[in-house]
Amino acid sequence: MPHRGNPTFRTLDRSECDALLARNQVGRLAYAFHGRVDIEPIHYVFADDAIYMRTEPGSKLATLAHAPWVAFEVDEIDGPFDWQSVVAHGSVYVLEDEGTPETRTKYTAAVSRLRELMPDALGDNDPVPARRVVLKLYPAEVTGREAHLSYPDVRDSLTEEP
DSSP states of 15-44: HHHHHHHHH-SEEEEEEEETTEEEEEEEEE
Amino acid letter, residue 139: P
Cα–Cα distance measured from residue 44 to residue 39, given in angstroms and rounded to the nearest whole number: 15
pTM for the whole thing? 0.85
CATH number, span 13-145:
2.30.110.10
Domain residue limits, the chain = 13-145
Per-residue model confidence as pLDDT tens digits over 43-72 = 999 999 999 999 998 878 888 888 899 999
| Stretch (H or E) spanning 110 | helix 101-117
Max avg pLDDT among 2-6, 65-69, 75-79: 75-79
Say which range, 1-10, 22-31, 38-47, has the weakest mean pLDDT. 1-10
Predicted confidence at residue 36, as pLDDT, reads 87
**DSSP E strands: which ranges in the chain?**
6-11, 26-33, 36-47, 50-55, 69-79, 82-95, 133-150
Which of residues 152 and 62 earns the better pLDDT score?
A: 62
Which of residues 151 and 155 earns the better pLDDT score?
A: 151
The alpha carbons of the chain give a radius of gyration, in whole angstroms, of 21
DSSP 9: E
Percent of the chain's residues with pLDDT above 70? 90
Percent of the chain's residues with pLDDT above 90? 73
State yes or no: pLDDT of 34 exceeds 90.
Answer: no
Predicted confidence at residue 3, as pLDDT, reads 46
State yes or no: pLDDT of 24 exceeds 60.
Answer: yes
State yes or no: pLDDT of 157 exceeds 60.
Answer: no
Max avg pLDDT among 13-27, 33-47, 146-160: 13-27
